[in-house]
């Protein structure tokens, strides 16, 4: 079945045709390891995992590369301010190197807990300084760079279609410049190499043909993707914020050097919407995966929650929404468990499922197919075999799950799910009626600040 993916470059769905028969090259921009990832960041990695699983589901062998940004990402994306790593080092009293190591490990642990398949290649920016220097030399040799007193910059006016990916209004940007450009010639020009400040020794700095310093943030992805996947590969991804700056600049660098636009498809995950306080890495409210776990949620509940929206739609984070996901996942797990051993797969259902998945990774509709399967009159063993096929894409580990001591029957979970929906839609009377039904059946629903919990009521002698 044909796979359609939305390509941000074309602003259209395109049929996915691999560049080579043998392998699909996938590059996903990784984290800047100066702090934990927040659950918004993780939404993007879940989307990328679904993409990789979908490619594999379609029979492709994927080579997945993810970078670790451990140098060069400045506090402002406009090449201003301190390096996030050096700032993180100051905050914690550790070295920038220790910080990078610690948060890389924490990030990889988060991915495991979310059942995200590990990339085949991890690459750190600091392990590829030579490749980045050579890339800048290539850009320089082709005449696309200039030097200022604080670094080497990419001259974006030299590239006819600079900004096409983000559909940037270059003239508007030029006309609207109020900020001090410093020695930068154009507002969209960006740093390829920055010099260490003359009065200060940085923790992370290297010799280069231009002077001691460190690479700009964008060059690492051009250099490392080329090294591991070639000058033109299949798919490059990141979060939607990367469209206008980071990916635009990666394309500029690679185009200047090799004349290709780096990747055949550019795909972007939309943001999880959280209020500022919950996203701000310095605040106590800061929502990372461990906070959800500490509140009693299985990490896969967050994965399930992410599947409830299309990756190209914003998703609002609420505790109510997460509770809804917890209840639905519990229902699904219970049923799958009760279906027992798998037998033959139902091909019609697999076809329906594939149609949704291959329509630009439509997970909400793919989940709806899973619920249709559950409600169908097929034999349990067939349902089981079929859902396990679906789970290759969902990645919910449905084969492994087992009920714990206190098992909540499916009818009760169904009522709780309806009550959750009623609450979300503010149908309070319906919600109350459903609660009464749950209580009458001998279960208790407790609304804690962390959300709804169901328990069986203790028998009073
Ligand atoms: P960073 O560690 O800041 O480089 O970001 C890691 C990834 O998370 C990037 O692909 C960003 O585009 C993505 N990202 C940042 N904020 C959000 C958010 N609120 N929702 C989804 N993805 C995000
Ligand atoms: Zn990148």
**Cα–ligand 1 centroid distance for 103 (angstroms):** 15
Helix-, strand-, coil-residue percentages of the chain, each rounded to 5 = 45, 20, 40
Pocket of ligand 1 contains residue 241 by CB under 6 Å: yes
**Secondary structure of residue 32 in the 3-state scheme:** strand
> Over the stretch 208-244, which tens digit does the pLDDT of each residue have?
999 999 999 999 999 999 999 999 999 999 999 999 9
**Mean pLDDT, residues 306-320 taken together:** 96
Which residue matches tokens 């990030």? 107
Ligand 1 closest atom vs CA 32: 2
pLDDT for the residue numbered 280? 73
| Cβ proximity of 67 and 30 under 8 Å | yes
Pocket of ligand 1 contains residue 33 by CB under 6 Å: no
Ligand that comes closest to the CA of residue 74: 1
Q: How confident is the model at residue 171 (pLDDT cuts 50, 70, 90)?
A: confident
Q: Quick one: tokens of 337?
A: 């468990």
Q: Quick one: tokens of 203?
A: 């923790």
Residue nearest atom 14 in ligand 1 by C-alpha distance? 41
Taking the model in full, what pTM does it have?
0.89
Pocket of ligand 1 contains residue 88 by CB under 6 Å: no
Per the prediction, the chain carries an average pLDDT of: 92
Q: How far apart are CA 307 and CA 394, in angstroms?
A: 8
Q: How confident is the model at residue 90 (pLDDT cuts 50, 70, 90)?
A: confident
Q: How far apart are CA 433 and CA 444, in angstroms?
A: 13
Q: How confident is the model at residue 458 (pLDDT cuts 50, 70, 90)?
A: very low
Residue nearest atom 5 in ligand 1 by C-alpha distance? 31
| Cβ proximity of 278 and 322 under 8 Å | no
Ligand 1 closest atom vs CA 241: 12
**Of residues 286, 208, 210, 279, the one with CA closest to residue 239:** 279
> Over the stretch 48-58, which tens digit does the pLDDT of each residue have?
999 999 999 99
φ, ψ of residue 246 to 5 degrees: the values are -60, -50
Q: How far apart are CA 243 and CA 167, in angstroms?
A: 9
> Over the stretch 280-293, which tens digit does the pLDDT of each residue have?
766 677 899 999 99
Cα dist from 108 to 295, 364, 370, 398, whole Å: 21, 26, 29, 22
Ligand 1 closest atom vs CA 271: 20
Q: How confident is the model at residue 451 (pLDDT cuts 50, 70, 90)?
A: low
């Amino acid at each position: 079945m044909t796979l359609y993916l939305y390509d941000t470059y074309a602003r259209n769905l395109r049929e996915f045709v691999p560049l080579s028969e043998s392998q699909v090259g996938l590059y996903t921009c990784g984290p800047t390891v100066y702090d934990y990832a927040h659950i918004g960041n993780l939404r993007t990695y879940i989307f990328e995992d679904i993409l990789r699983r979908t490619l594999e589901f379609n029979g492709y062998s994927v080579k997945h590369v993810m970078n670790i940004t451990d140098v060069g990402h400045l506090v402002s994306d406009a090449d201003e301010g301190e390096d996030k790593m050096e700032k993180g080092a100051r905050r914690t009293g550790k070295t920038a190197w220790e910080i990078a190591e610690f948060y890389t490990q924490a990030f990889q642990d988060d991915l495991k807990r979310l059942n995200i398949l590990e990339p085949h290649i991890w690459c750190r920016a600091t392990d590829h300084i030579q490749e980045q220097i050579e890339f800048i030399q290539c850009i320089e040799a082709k005449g696309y760079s200039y030097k200022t007193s604080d670094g080497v910059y990419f001259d974006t006016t030299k590239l006819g279609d600079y900004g096409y990916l983000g559909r940037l209004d270059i003239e508007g940007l030029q006309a609207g410049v109020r900020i001090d450009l410093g020695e930068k010639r154009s507002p969209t020009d960006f740093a390829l190499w920055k010099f260490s400040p003359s009065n200060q020794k940085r923790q992370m700095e290297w010799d280069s043909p231009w002077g001691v310093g460190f690479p700009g943030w964008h060059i690492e992805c051009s250099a490392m993707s080329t090294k591991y996947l070639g000058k033109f590969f299949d798919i490059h991804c990141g979060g939607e914020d990367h469209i206008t700056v980071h990916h635009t600049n990666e394309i500029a660098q690679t185009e200047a050097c090799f004349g290709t636009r780096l990747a055949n498809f550019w795909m972007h995950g939309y943001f999880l919407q959280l209020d500022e306080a919950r996203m701000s890495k310095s605040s106590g409210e800061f929502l990372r995966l461990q906070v959800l776990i500490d509140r009693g949620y299985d990490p896969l509940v967050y994965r399930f929650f992410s599947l409830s929206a299309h990756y190209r739609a914003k998703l609002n984070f609420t505790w109510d929404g997460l509770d809804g996901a917890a209840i639905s996942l519990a229902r699904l797990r219970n049923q799958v468990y009760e279906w027992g051993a798998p037998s033959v797969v139902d091909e019609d259902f697999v076809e329906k499922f594939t149609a949704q998945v291959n329509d630009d990774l439509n997970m909400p509709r793919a989940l709806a197919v899973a619920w249709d399967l559950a409600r169908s009159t097929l034999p349990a063993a067939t349902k089981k075999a079929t859902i396990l096929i679906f789970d290759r894409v969902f990645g919910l580990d449905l084969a492994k799950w087992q009920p714990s001591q206190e098992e909540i029957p499916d009818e009760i979970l169904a009522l709780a799910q309806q009550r959750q929906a009623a609450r979300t839609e503010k149908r309070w009377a319906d919600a109350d009626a459903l609660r009464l039904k749950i209580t009458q059946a001998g279960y208790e629903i407790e609304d804690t600040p962390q959300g709804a919990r169901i328990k069986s009521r203790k028998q009073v002698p």
